[in-house]
């Protein structure tokens, strides 16, 4: 027989069971109403932001799954932004209570997202953004942010036929996730991109440990084909991209992440990089990322490889501090230097790709600055050569061309402007010994004071140009020497691309090191090919056009005026007033004039600068 205590316990359990069952029954009965209420709350909030939300049906499917069909979000003009044929969400209360996110499974079927630049979001005027300085260090740590997001990620995600339509240069492009599966920290899928009537297909697979963040991700073009993607005002492509996170260490101060990445058949076409397509057969690296004191950096000992060229490179960027420290670093040894020219990417360096050397060279480059103290900016560069270093073959840009008469074509970008002979066959050609010493002196003072002392580069000029560009937040100064200007004018086009600047630097460095052209010959050619005004090429034509005399007869005032035109010849028309005097607003001339008087006040007086200009006089 049961004791009174056992009977009491049994009755209690029965009552609890009945109560729980009643609550569940009531909950099951009311859950659809609660679901509808929650949907209406979301609908109301979106309406205040300028969007409408609707669905064909929204209901529970089983005990813990919610299924929505015909989900549609439109903007204020009734344009469809999002349409989803079916959306199924499975909730897990126990997972949510443990802080791992309430959603356990997510299934999306046939969703279309139509993005437009005209979409407007209404902001809450009463909501003030939280200043960055008020955020705790944990909320600013990228690793903690990523871990928090991954914590909310469902254990299982299945996506089929999700299409993103977005504008791209007056056309719409389509990105379709044909199939994406994420389950038990494993990812696989198939992605299609439709651009300009062509369909690009690639697969994605990988794995990720949400706790340690270790894992790998791989994108492969279908059947090894190159996938081309239009983005950031350019076009990029690859046949395979792989990245692996191998080790992550974190503490209260930040984190350190060791990784590896590799790209096969990389194609790049971007107007800021090059005016032609760039191809790199293979590029890989082992970057070590670090975050500390609100600065994200790639360790300077991170190794990289482009084709057969090995080097070390790193950089630092302040994430939440606009007054933080920026730096970049690059170095490679003699053995790597011996392989550099043969490893240059196809299409990137058209004029130096044919260069061949014996021996090797090492290089170290470092730049550091902080916006709060630009005067402390550091710029360091060092090159060391092996004893047998020598250029045995020049590429398309052969400096021997400059050592004799040659035909020169001047281009403004890709547009041909003028063509003329650089040599005595040209009646306006002026040999070095017939150019006024005044013009040589004023031009060197204006453009390159250390011309005879440096080997193609003047680091201090580069440093000053860097500081000016950072301060102006634009490309205000170039820091080019006369050697660099000569190489740019003779061999390269006027495109403002990264490629052109790098080729300019490489050619000047080799020409100066090999002493392929004498300093005097450089100056002679420089004076005879540069533009001194719209359509005015060569010092012989300029001297006649502005002063009606031979270049040998120029006085210091006239020389300073001509030198002041070199940085901006297209603006020469604004340098003269109606009386034939220098326009008071033409500051380049007056700055150079004052520098020349300060340099030798006993030789020059203000009267030496009283000049009469024949050109551009307005009645």
What the chain holds in terms of domains, given with CATH numbers, is 19-118 (no CATH), 397-609 (1.10.3810.10)
Residue 400 neighbours by CB under 8 Å, 6+ apart: 394, 516
Sign, Cα dihedral of 218, 221, 224, 226? negative
| Percent of the chain scoring above 70 in pLDDT | 85
Report the pLDDT averaged over residues 405-419: 85
Q: What is the pTM of this model?
A: 0.79
Question: Could you tell me which of 570, 568, 540, 548 has the C-alpha nearest to residue 420?
Answer: 540
Q: What is the model's pLDDT at position 132?
A: 45
Distance CA 241, CA 441 (A): 55
Distance CA 485, CA 430 (A): 19
Q: Pairing mode, if any, of strands 156-168 and 103-114? A: parallel
Q: How confident is the model at residue 135 (pLDDT cuts 50, 70, 90)?
A: very low
Length of the chain: 619
Most confidently modeled range among 28-42, 341-355, 556-570:
556-570
Is residue 522 within 8 Å of 483, Cβ to Cβ? yes
Q: What is the DSSP string of 85-128?
A: EEEEEEE-HHHHHTTS-SEEEEEEEEEEEE--TT------TTPP
pLDDT tens digit string along 293-342?
889 999 999 999 999 999 999 999 998 777 789 999 999 999 999 999 88
Tokens of residue 598, six digits? 């300060």
**Burial class of residue 52, CB neighbours in 10 A (0-12, 13-18, 19+):** middle
Q: What is the model's pLDDT at position 425?
A: 93
- 503-to-241, 267, 389 alpha-carbon distances in Å: 28, 19, 19
How many other C-beta atoms are found inside a 10 Å radius of the C-beta of residue 342?
Answer: 13
Distance CA 19, CA 36 (A): 26
Sign, Cα dihedral of 517, 523, 527, 528? negative
- Model confidence at 615: pLDDT above 70: yes
Question: Could you tell me which of 33, 43, 91 has the C-alpha nearest to residue 71?
Answer: 43
Higher pLDDT, 395 or 93: 395
Least confident segment among 205-219, 221-235, 333-347, 444-458: 221-235
- 591-to-469, 560, 561, 564, 570 alpha-carbon distances in Å: 20, 10, 11, 9, 19
- 593-to-31, 557, 601, 616 alpha-carbon distances in Å: 86, 7, 11, 21
Residue 327 neighbours by CB under 8 Å, 6+ apart: 315, 316, 366, 367, 368, 369
């Amino acid at each position: 027989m049961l004791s009174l205590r056992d009977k009491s316990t049994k009755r209690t359990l029965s009552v609890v069971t009945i109560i729980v069952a009643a609550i569940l029954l009531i909950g099951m009965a009311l859950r659809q109403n609660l679901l509808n209420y929650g949907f209406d709350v979301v609908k109301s909030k979106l309406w205040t932001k300028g969007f409408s939300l609707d669905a064909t049906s929204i209901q529970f499917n089983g005990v813990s799954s919610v299924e929505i069909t015909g989900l549609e979000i439109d903007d204020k003009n009734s344009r469809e932004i999002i349409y989803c044929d079916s959306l199924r969400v499975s909730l897990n209360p126990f997972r949510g209570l443990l802080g791992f996110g309430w959603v356990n499974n997510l299934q999306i079927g046939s969703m279309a997202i139509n993005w437009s630049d005209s979409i407007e979001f209404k902001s809450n005027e009463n909501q003030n953004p939280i200043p960055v300085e008020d955020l705790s260090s944990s909320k600013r740590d990228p690793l903690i942010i990523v871990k928090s997001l991954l914590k909310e990620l469902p254990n299982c995600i299945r996506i089929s036929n999700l299409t993103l339509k977005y504008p791209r240069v007056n056309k719409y492009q389509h990105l379709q996730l044909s199939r994406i599966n994420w389950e038990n920290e494993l990812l696989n899928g198939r992605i299609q991109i439709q651009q300009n009537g062509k369909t690009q297909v690639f697969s994605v697979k990988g794995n990720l440990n949400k706790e340690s963040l270790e894992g790998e991700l791989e994108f492969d073009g279908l059947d090894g084909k190159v996938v081309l993607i239009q983005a950031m005002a350019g076009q990029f492509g690859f046949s395979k991209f792989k990245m692996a996170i191998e080790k992550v260490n974190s503490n209260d101060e930040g984190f350190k992440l060791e990784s590896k990445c590799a790209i096969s058949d990389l194609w790049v076409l971007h107007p800021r990089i090059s005016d032609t397509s760039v191809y790199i057969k293979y590029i890989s690296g082992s970057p070590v990322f670090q975050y500390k004191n609100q600065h994200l950096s790639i360790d300077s000992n991170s190794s990289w490889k482009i084709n057969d060229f090995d080097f070390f490179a790193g950089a630092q960027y302040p994430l939440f501090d606009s007054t933080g420290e920026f730096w970049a670093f690059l170095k490679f040894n003699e053995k790597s230097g011996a392989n550099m020219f043969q490893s240059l990417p196809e299409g990137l360096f058209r004029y130096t790709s044919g260069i061949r050397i014996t021996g090797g060279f090492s290089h170290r480059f470092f730049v550091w600055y902080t916006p709060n103290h630009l005067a402390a900016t550091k710029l360091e560069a060092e090159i060391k050569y092996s004893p047998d270093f020598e250029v045995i073959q020049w590429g398309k840009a052969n400096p021997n061309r400059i050592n004799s008469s040659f035909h020169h074509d001047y281009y403004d970008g890709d547009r041909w402007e003028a063509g003329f002979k650089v040599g005595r066959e040209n009646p306006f050609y002026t040999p070095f010994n017939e150019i006024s010493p005044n013009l040589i002196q004023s031009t060197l003072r204006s453009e390159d004071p250390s011309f005879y002392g440096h080997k193609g580069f003047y680091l201090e000029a580069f440093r000053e140009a860097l500081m000016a560009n950072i301060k102006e937040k634009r490309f205000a100064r170039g820091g080019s020497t006369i050697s660099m200007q000569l190489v740019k004018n003779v061999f390269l086009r006027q495109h403002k691309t990264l490629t052109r600047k790098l080729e300019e630097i490489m050619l000047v460095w080799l020409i100066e090191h090999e002493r392929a052209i004498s300093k005097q010959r450089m100056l002679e050619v420089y004076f005879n090919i540069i533009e001194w005004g719209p359509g005015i090429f060569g010092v012989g034509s300029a001297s006649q056009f502005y002063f009606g005399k031979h270049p040998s007869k120029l006085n210091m005032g006239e020389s300073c005026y001509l030198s002041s035109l070199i940085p901006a010849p297209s603006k020469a028309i604004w340098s003269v007033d109606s009386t034939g005097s220098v326009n008071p607003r033409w500051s380049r001339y007056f700055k150079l004039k004052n520098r020349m008087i300060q340099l030798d006040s006993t030789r020059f007086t203000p009267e030496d600068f009283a000049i009469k200009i024949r050109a551009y006089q307005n009645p």
